[in-house]
Structure 1
Amino acid sequence: MAQSLLIIGSVWPEPDSSAAGRRMLQLISLFQSHGWEIVFATSASEGDYAADLRARDIRCVQTAINSSEFDDFIIKLQPSAVLFDRFIVEEQFGWRVAEQCPDTVRILDTEDLHCLRRARRRAVQEGRPFDPRELLGDDTAKREVASILRCDISLIISDFEMTLLENLFGVEASLLFYLPFLLTSVEEGDREDWPGFEERRDFVTIGNFRHPPNWDAVQYLKQQVWPLVRRQLPQAELHIYGAYPSRKARQLDCPGDGFYIEGRAGDAKGVVRSGRVTLAPLRFGAGLKGKLVESMRCGTPSVTTSIGAEGLSGRLPWSGAVADEPQRIASSAVQLYTDREAWARAQQRGIRIINERFDKEQFADEFTDRLGTIRQNLRPHRRNNFIGGILLHHTTASTKYMSRWIEEKNRLGKEME
């Protein structure tokens, strides 16, 4: 009998719009390569840029929050494992999975630690440094860590966040698995299509405008960084690409200053590959930054912040420069843009980061081995996670009856229409 995986998504994956969408397709490919049959369920609408999951032999199901119809659906499906694509989805459906399919492995893909991203954002807005210990009193952190503890295994995309969960929150390593982006190596043949230093021009950045760290970075570039770059490179241009630009974002477009809001890129890799340097001064965020990974895979060095580079290079030198002050970001950008030898060294460092830090085969095999062990020893695995059992018990008791109340309220409302 084939192993089956139910993915419950908060949104349809859009690989051309966000790193989260690409991440989901990587996970799908991982499971399918090991013979798993996949069902994708979501309460979200399928957008114009959603991945064609049906073409990948994935059954797609529209589901509803706070509805016992999901119970009937999962009882019939009886999946071997369920993957929640964010902790909020686990809060909504985890108790139903545990109640109706007690022998099903529950997997949480955190994408990134939402509590970390949000707390860092508050610190930036308040103009103060961020202290990780703030998270110990943060309500989102409590919800997110509780979700991790309720699941049998959680996929953590950043080694920085692995350390944070283990050392700050005391989460047992047996409940976590470090699974970064799953990439193929950059080989000599891949580099043949890369334009050289002289063939490339302009600065480039790319990222979904709906994602708060990206939108903040665009405004930061406009107000504090780009004027410093233009002072030294009066003819330089910055082209900013990304899905879902708002009217506010469009209003920042200023060709006279070499500042272009381009919107969605028809060929994201193409525009990154044609740029000489990627600018990504991210002041807050979490997880791994897809734009910087794509830059390295396109042979485009980058200038970013310590938060932007977090979890990517490990102990390897960065593919470009890391700086956290506007003046240093700008001077690093100018130096990398004008120094051919420094640019070439940065490009080679990017190749090394991709090839040594994100080897798809290595992580895929390790994960499937760990998942297999958990499936074979599910009862003792859960017995050893006593705190998780307590949280599941109380969450089921509270969330279950709140959900039942909402469902009944909705039913009565329809009857009265």
Structure 2
Amino acid sequence: MPAPDAPPPRPGQRWLSRQIRRARLVLRWTLAGELGPELRKRKEPLLARLDYLLSRVGLRLPRRPSPLRQELGLPALKDVPKAEAIRLTVSDTPVVTVLIPTYGQVDYTLLCLNSLAQFPPRTPIEVLVAEDASGDRRIPELRNVPGLRLLEREKNLGFLLSCNDAAKHARGEFIFLLNNDTEVMPGAIDALVATLRAHPDAGMVGARLLYPDGYQQEAGGIVWQDGSAWNYGHRDDPTRPDYNYVREADYISGAAIMLSLEVWNRMGGFDEHYVPAYCEDSDLAFRIRAAGMKVLYQPEAKVIHYEGISHGRDVNAGLKAYQVANTQKLLARWAPELGRHYPNGTHVMRARDRAFDRRITLVIDNNLPEPDRDAGSRTMLAFMQALQAGGRIVKFWPLNGYATPGYLEALQQMGIQVFHNPWYGHMRPFLEQNGADIDEVLLSRPHVAAECLALIRQYCTAPVVFYGHDLHFARMRREAEARQDSAALREADEMLEAERAVWRAVDLVLYPSEDEAAEVRRLEPQVPALGIVPYALPPAAQGPLPLEGRSGVVFVAGFGHSPNVDAAQWLVREIMPLLRARHPSLRLSLVGSNPTNEVKGLADALTEVTGFVSDEELARRYAAARVTLCPLRFGAGVKMKVVEGLHSGVPLVMTSTGAQGLPDVEQVAGVTDDPAEFAEQVRLLLEDDALWAERSAAQRAYVDGRFTLAAMGTALEEAFAIAARRPPCRKA
């Protein structure tokens, strides 16, 4: 790190001033009852500083285990290794140049290098240390680190100019600027590279900074209207949901930032306006945004930072003294932009997300979407993707509070904050604090809406849109009628009343088909109800699909759902015998999660019950099948597996229940409720290659014209616009 470059000091006077300021702070904290918390906040920086001072006389503090580090899955703290023992994994054709500017402090540099050696990324790297003429007698030790590129300057440049000069020697596609008083945790570099690759509109991405004990130092930065800044999440528990989703940030601390070498060069590196140091990282973030790119925070990139080692902590001494002056330079340069920011400490949720002119949409469902397990999850996930594509900031509240592993992280990496246990239980405290900053609410399912609506109306003025998935009462009624179950009929009537109560209490109702929306309008004429595209699929495969090697028929569904259980039983008992009369060896695959014992009991030598399969395995099965089937006898709404089957290009035969909400689908697929006719339509597709090819192409064209993310986004935009125009009395 660079040499202090302050005006000539008056040591005695400066020391006395610092002690007086510290005494005043301690007195104020004591009188306010805040001495304990304030000292705990400063514990790690103070210990790190003491460790550094001891290292200068050959001593070190013992490395202390931390329960939080263990909870976070971070490796144990290491002792300082010998330079010769560090084995960096480097490449002659690096993707990333890890650039570490230093000014002495060899022990910390060795710890930093050792972390890179102990946990090498999958991404090819080179490691470049730029030593800025500190005069430290131990610098030659770094020459003994195998694989390290060491730049030793004869003249001190200062931190900012040292970084700019060192970047000229970078050979990677990306540069990772890294303070030497850091330790890079496993996966951090790979996560940063993946973020830049996944977000071509991002100019820079930064890591989460942690203290050595695992507590948070910074989860991205907030710059307020007056130019002051927050290290967001400072000294808080890093497992809180507020810090664990990818998001835009005002700035990322220069202790651990990555950007492409092309962007770095286009920006001209750090601006010399801020020589020798401080605020150059914030200014770079503002300039990147001014060039039309985003600055992102990636929580999965974890870096331990021994705060205060590089420049100290006293803003009246040494290099740290430039922090105050450069903050004023930043404010003067970016005053028009900062005018859009919030006053210090206000609207924190919006400030951390840079939601100055973007809408925040709160989506509430029963649980986290599991899109590989059920159709409703696919719809809700697609809704959130469409809202994000339209420029909205999306936040998700699972009513059951569960942070389902894998599915939680998938949403967070999409940039969606998830409110889950144990941090968020009841919704009231969150809405009390943040309800006024929520612009829109999307509720999913009747029981979820019934539980949340009163609180939302109490604390939010946002328009509320309800998505019903299907007309629950209609599905329940059809099932009850099919089984001649009077008790189930009464339950269906109760559900009708519950659904009608929800419709009346929200600002707009959405269902996956216009038929269902029309039924809502018939039952409740004053309620605005619209049909919406319920699924968004990528463009279907173009050109003829291969027929060679295809065999068998497949029914894909979630077999924990009673309509699908009934459909499987009807298929096996009434339709398959008719087909096997002509094709005795015809195989049937019942593919899908949670098969009941009734479904498992259908398995035999020619009937396979798979249980849950991955998306990749499902794609393989579609590619091997000759015909897909949807033999539903009751249900409601547009069926995801029907749309998915059409999209696969494998010709589909279905019942009228399966065809619900799909206008004119009978022109591209077989639709019948008669078992004999159903079997005959399947037989034709098994035997007629020309018919098979014609249906395959027609089905894919049908889906491509209707089920797109753009169509879904347009419909959601229209829905919220209509909901926002509803009379204020509905929001009382």
Identify whether the pair has TM-score above 0.5, normalized to the shorter chain.
yes
SS of 1:108's equivalent? strand
The alignment status of 1:302 with 2:656, answered yes or no, reads: no
Q: 1:54 aligns with which of 401, 412, 417?
A: 412
The alignment status of 1:113 with 2:471, answered yes or no, reads: yes
Q: Which deviates the most, 267-276 or 204-213?
A: 267-276
Letter in 2 for 1:14: E
Q: How does 1:352-367 map to 2 (within 5 A)?
A: 352-367=701-716
The alignment status of 1:9 with 2:368, answered yes or no, reads: no
TM-score, normalised relative to structure 1: 0.81
- Identify unmatched segments of 5+ residues in structure 2: 1-355
Q: Any conservation in 2 of the 1:108–1:155 contact (CA below 8 Å)?
A: yes
Q: 1:34 aligns with which of 390, 399, 402?
A: 390
Letter in 2 for 1:191: Q
Q: Any conservation in 2 of the 1:185–1:354 contact (CA below 8 Å)?
A: no
Q: How does 1:206-217 map to 2 (within 5 A)?
A: 206-217=556-567
SS of 1:17's equivalent? coil
The alignment status of 1:22 with 2:373, answered yes or no, reads: no
Q: 1:96 aligns with which of 455, 463, 488?
A: 455
Identical columns (%)? 24
Counterpart Cα distance in 1 of 2:518 and 2:722 = 23
1:287 alignment counterpart: 637
Counterpart Cα distance in 2 of 1:127 and 1:195 = 45
2:586 alignment counterpart: 236
Counterpart Cα distance in 2 of 1:21 and 1:198 = 34
Counterpart Cα distance in 2 of 1:109 and 1:367 = 11
Q: 2:525 aligns with which of 165, 171, 177?
A: 171
The alignment status of 1:331 with 2:680, answered yes or no, reads: yes
Deviations 1:1-33 (A, max 9, x none): 231111111122111111111101110011111
Q: How does 1:155-170 map to 2 (within 5 A)?
A: 155-167=510-522, 169-170=523-524
1:340 alignment counterpart: 689
Cα shift at 1:367: 3.0
Cα shift at 1:60: 1.2
Cα shift at 1:36: 1.6
Counterpart Cα distance in 1 of 2:368 and 2:645 = 25
Q: How does 1:103-142 map to 2 (within 5 A)?
A: 103-126=461-484, 138-142=493-497
| Alpha carbons of structure 1 residues 318 and 259: separation in structure 2 relative to 1, 3 Å | farther
Counterpart Cα distance in 2 of 1:171 and 1:358 = 28
Deviations 1:351-384 (A, max 9, x none): 2321333343234224314423533x34x2x54x
Letter in 1 for 2:452: F
Q: 2:610 aligns with which of 262, 271, 277?
A: 262
Q: Which has the larger radius of gyration?
A: 2
The RMSD of aligned alpha carbons is 2.6
Counterpart Cα distance in 2 of 1:154 and 1:322 = 29
Counterpart Cα distance in 2 of 1:224 and 1:351 = 29
| Alpha carbons of structure 1 residues 185 and 55: separation in structure 2 relative to 1, 3 Å | closer
SS of 2:657's equivalent? helix
Counterpart Cα distance in 2 of 1:90 and 1:206 = 30
2:283 alignment counterpart: none
Q: Any conservation in 2 of the 1:17–1:207 contact (CA below 8 Å)?
A: no
1:73 alignment counterpart: 430
Counterpart Cα distance in 1 of 2:368 and 2:456 = 20
Q: Any conservation in 1 of the 2:535–2:708 contact (CA below 8 Å)?
A: yes
Letter in 1 for 2:533: P
Q: Any conservation in 1 of the 2:636–2:657 contact (CA below 8 Å)?
A: yes
Counterpart Cα distance in 1 of 2:658 and 2:426 = 42
Q: How does 1:179-218 map to 2 (within 5 A)?
A: 179-184=532-537, 186=539, 190-191=541-542, 195-218=545-568
Q: Any conservation in 1 of the 2:535–2:640 contact (CA below 8 Å)?
A: no
Q: 2:699 aligns with which of 350, 371, 381?
A: 350
Counterpart Cα distance in 1 of 2:442 and 2:719 = 15
How many equivalent pairs are there?
Answer: 367
Counterpart Cα distance in 1 of 2:510 and 2:517 = 9
Deviations 1:199-237 (A, max 9, x none): 321101111111221111111112222122111210110
The alignment status of 1:84 with 2:438, answered yes or no, reads: no
Deviations 1:161-197 (A, max 9, x none): 1222223x1434x62222123435635xx235x7422
Counterpart Cα distance in 2 of 1:191 and 1:10 = 37
Q: Any conservation in 2 of the 1:149–1:175 contact (CA below 8 Å)?
A: no
Cα shift at 1:245: 2.0
Deviations 1:252-303 (A, max 9, x none): 2101xx1111111222222123211111100011111111111111111111
| Alpha carbons of structure 1 residues 205 and 58: separation in structure 2 relative to 1, 3 Å | same
SS of 1:199's equivalent? coil
Letter in 2 for 1:259: T
Counterpart Cα distance in 1 of 2:420 and 2:405 = 16
SS of 1:240's equivalent? strand
The alignment status of 1:152 with 2:517, answered yes or no, reads: no
Counterpart Cα distance in 2 of 1:68 and 1:50 = 19
Counterpart Cα distance in 2 of 1:68 and 1:29 = 25
| Alpha carbons of structure 1 residues 317 and 53: separation in structure 2 relative to 1, 3 Å | same
TM-score, normalised relative to structure 2: 0.47
Letter in 2 for 1:87: P
1:320 alignment counterpart: 669
- Identify unmatched segments of 5+ residues in structure 1: 129-133, 384-388, 394-417
| Alpha carbons of structure 1 residues 212 and 116: separation in structure 2 relative to 1, 3 Å | same
Counterpart Cα distance in 2 of 1:38 and 1:362 = 19
Counterpart Cα distance in 2 of 1:164 and 1:339 = 40
Letter in 2 for 1:333: V
More helix by share: 1
2:717 alignment counterpart: 368
Cα shift at 1:37: 1.5
2:290 alignment counterpart: none
SS of 1:357's equivalent? coil
Structure with higher RCO (Cα < 8 A, 6+ apart): 1
Counterpart Cα distance in 2 of 1:359 and 1:142 = 33
